[in-house]
């Protein structure tokens, strides 16, 4: 019965067996040699292709250097701590928030121009910039119905990621349009 089964066994069934020593009698040694030769050629081609592939700039060591290497603070500067470079979702959120704030700045300037103000008379973002950011406990002038008022900023809030995200406290901002809320105490 075993001999009869081996004679009627298909090539697929013979190769599907886990132990390679049990091959069917009908399979010739030349078929095994051809299969072995084809496998060796395929492996050699795969090795050549692997060795000729170049690595992109966003892979491996180059990527880790960009994302792990900290920003070194210049001696004598305002900042005293070194920060790691942002990467991934955090980096994308910062880039998108900056782009959105810049768009809002341009839109705000167009509104001032449509209102009839000269371009030189437009207050550039309330005199807030990266050089002079708005901070917690910074003073400012606030226009009210009854005239100008002195104010002190008590809290600043901005969105954490996108338009559906929550508002979070921030200690300073270089763009007024990047803030969602400015909480201030107004003095008479």
Task: For residue range 85-96, list pLDDT tens digits in order.
Answer: 566 666 677 677
Query: Are residues 99 and 167 located together in one domain of the fold?
Result: yes
Note the pLDDT of residue 59: 58
Q: Assess whether pLDDT exceeds 70 at residue 152.
A: yes
Q: Is 32 part of a structural domain of the chain?
A: yes
Query: Are residues 46 and 94 located together in one domain of the fold?
Result: no
Q: Is 120 part of a structural domain of the chain?
A: yes
Query: Are residues 42 and 114 located together in one domain of the fold?
Result: no
Contacts of 122 (CB under 8 A, 6+ apart): 109, 112, 113
Query: Are residues 95 and 41 located together in one domain of the fold?
Result: no
Query: Are residues 99 and 166 located together in one domain of the fold?
Result: yes
∠ Cα 82 88 90 (to 5°): 60
Note the pLDDT of residue 102: 79
Query: Are residues 176 and 92 located together in one domain of the fold?
Result: yes
Query: Are residues 97 and 30 located together in one domain of the fold?
Result: no
Full residue range of the structural domain in which residue 115 is found: 87-187
**From start to end of 58-166, where are the E strands?**
70-71, 83-84, 134-135, 139-144, 147-159
Q: Is 72 part of a structural domain of the chain?
A: no
Handedness of CA 93, 98, 101, 102 (dihedral sign): negative
Q: What percent of the chain has pLDDT over 90?
A: 1
Query: Are residues 163 and 105 located together in one domain of the fold?
Result: yes
Query: Are residues 36 and 123 located together in one domain of the fold?
Result: no
Provide the domain count of the chain.
2
pLDDT, tens only, 141-150: 877 788 888 9
pLDDT, tens only, 45-68: 777 766 655 555 455 665 555 555
Q: Is 30 part of a structural domain of the chain?
A: yes
Note the pLDDT of residue 125: 67
Query: Are residues 181 and 121 located together in one domain of the fold?
Result: yes
């Amino acid at each position: 019965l075993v001999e009869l089964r081996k004679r009627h066994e298909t090539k697929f069934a013979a190769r599907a067996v886990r132990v390679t020593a049990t091959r069917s009698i009908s399979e010739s040694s030349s078929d095994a040699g051809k299969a072995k030769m084809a496998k060796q050629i395929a492996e050699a081609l795969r090795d050549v292709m692997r060795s000729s592939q170049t690595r992109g700039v966003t892979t491996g060591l180059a990527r880790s250097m960009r994302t792990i290497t900290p920003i070194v603070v210049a001696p004598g500067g305002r900042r005293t701590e070194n920060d790691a470079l942002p990467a991934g979702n955090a980096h994308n959120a910062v880039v998108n928030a900056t782009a959105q704030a810049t768009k809002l700045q341009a839109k705000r300037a167009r509104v001032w121009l449509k209102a009839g103000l000269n371009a030189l008379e437009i207050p550039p973002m309330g005199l807030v910039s990266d050089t002079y950011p708005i901070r917690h406990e910074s003073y400012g002038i606030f226009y009210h119905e009854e005239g100008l008022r002195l104010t002190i900023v008590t809290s600043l809030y901005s969105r954490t990621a996108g338009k559906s995200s929550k508002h979070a406290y921030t200690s300073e901002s270089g763009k007024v349009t990047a803030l969602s809320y400015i909480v201030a105490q107004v003095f008479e």
